[in-house]
Amino acid sequence: MAKLKDIKTRLQSVRSTQKITTAMMMVSSAKLQKAQKTLHNLSSYESKLSEILDLLLSKEDNFTTPFTEKRVVKRVAILAIASNTGLAGRFNHSIINELKSVVASYKSLGEENILIYPIGLKVSKAVDKMELKAEEGDFSNLITKPSYSDIKVLAEKLMEMFLQKNIDKVVLVYHHFKSKGSLIIKRDQFLPLELNISAREDDRYNNDDVVDEYIIEPDRVTILKDLLPKVLKVKLFTSFIDSSTSEHAARMIAMQIANDNADNLIDELKREYNKLRQESITNELLDIVGGSFGRS
């Protein structure tokens, strides 16, 4: 009877846990839908910015900007975007493993020349364990509710450090949301910015009639210089939204798997409970029958 009671208690515990995972799955699903919409709209905006940039570049053969300056990498900054909470499968572990790989590729620079920006409490703790140099400040709020105004400040800081030659390269490590079941780890170069030089050979922009459709004031070079910082800020913001969307997808999938496992465990416990209950009833019947024959 004691074992039956233990199984019954465990059944209640599993069902209670399943209620929590179901609620978390529903919350993550709702957040995912909202984040997907934001990411879609932002991707469209970023795509249009890139199209305008390519159009302007197609007519400028000798355009240069400090943001595209390639130099010998003596000091690198790495932004690793994860999350503040767990229960999202291998979401955080994947970023931490990729960060270790990126750090290893720049090991020759020396640890003092590798500056880490840990975005999220999970990756921040991992950086502490790795005993790497992390930028001072709390960046956890940037991923909780990514806002353009906050991330723009971070982008401007990185751009200023690059212009002042305090860093020679900036690398982004984050998840790219492809679909609910497909999240891809990306390692993007944020600075120096790589311009789409091939746009100059693109037939879409070689037609003067296309360029004439735009009124360009004051001139292409001035607009390019103003547009490039905007492109960089939007790129960083998109990376944060991409990572946030991926986090909601990863947590929703993790909770769905937890629910399925709970269903399997409940079925298993039910079978075990019924089996023991049947054995108990059978034993009681045998005792009764045995006692009856003993008296006769």
- Each residue of 229-263: pLDDT tens digit? 999 999 999 999 999 999 999 999 999 999 999 99
Whether 78 and 117 have beta carbons less than 8 Å apart is answered as yes
Q: What average pLDDT is seen over the chain?
A: 87
Q: What is the pLDDT of residue 243?
A: 95
- Nearest of 149, 143, 152 to residue 244 by alpha carbon: 143
Answer whether residue 182 shows pLDDT above 60.
Answer: yes
Q: At a CB cut-off of 8 Å and minimum separation 6, what does 131 contact?
A: 111
Range name among 136-140, 175-179, 238-242 with the lowest pLDDT average: 136-140
Whether 229 and 159 have beta carbons less than 8 Å apart is answered as yes
Beta strand 114-119 pairing with 76-81 = parallel
pLDDT band at 208 (very low <50, low <70, confident <90, very high): low
Place of tokens 């790129």: 235
Q: What is the pLDDT of residue 197?
A: 61
Q: What is the 3-state secondary structure (H, E, C) of the chain?
A: CHHHHHHHHHHHHHHHHHHHHHHHHHHHHHHHHHHHHHHHHHHHHHHHHHHHHHHHHCCCCCCCCHHHCCCCCCCEEEEEECCCCCCCCCHHHHHHHHHHHHHHHCHHHCHHHEEEEEECHHHHHHHHHHCCCECCCCCHHHHHCCCHHHHHHHHHHHHHHHHCCCCCEEEEEEEEEEECCEEEEEEEEEECCCCCHHHHHCHHHHCHHHHHCCCCCCCHHHHHHHHHHHHHHHHHHHHHHHHHHHHHHHHHHHHHHHHHHHHHHHHHHHHHHHHHHHHHHHHHHHHHHHHHHHHC
Domains and CATH numbers, the chain: 2-22+261-289 (1.10.287), 28-252 (3.40.1380.10)
Percent of the chain with pLDDT over 70: 91
Beta strand 169-179 pairing with 182-191 = antiparallel
Answer whether residue 271 shows pLDDT above 70.
Answer: yes
Answer whether residue 63 shows pLDDT above 80.
Answer: no
Query: What predicted TM-score, i.e. pTM, was given to this entire model?
Result: 0.86
Q: What is the pLDDT of residue 164?
A: 94
Answer whether residue 221 shows pLDDT above 70.
Answer: yes
Q: What is the mean predicted confidence (pLDDT) over 130-153?
A: 86
Answer whether residue 181 shows pLDDT above 90.
Answer: no
Across the strands, what pairs with 115?
77
Whether 55 and 205 have beta carbons less than 8 Å apart is answered as yes
Q: What is the mean predicted confidence (pLDDT) over 204-218?
A: 62
Whether 259 and 20 have beta carbons less than 8 Å apart is answered as no
CA 233 to chain centre: 18
Answer whether residue 4 shows pLDDT above 90.
Answer: no
Whether 262 and 14 have beta carbons less than 8 Å apart is answered as yes
Whether 58 and 153 have beta carbons less than 8 Å apart is answered as no
pLDDT in tens, 102-132: 999 999 999 889 999 999 999 999 998 888 8
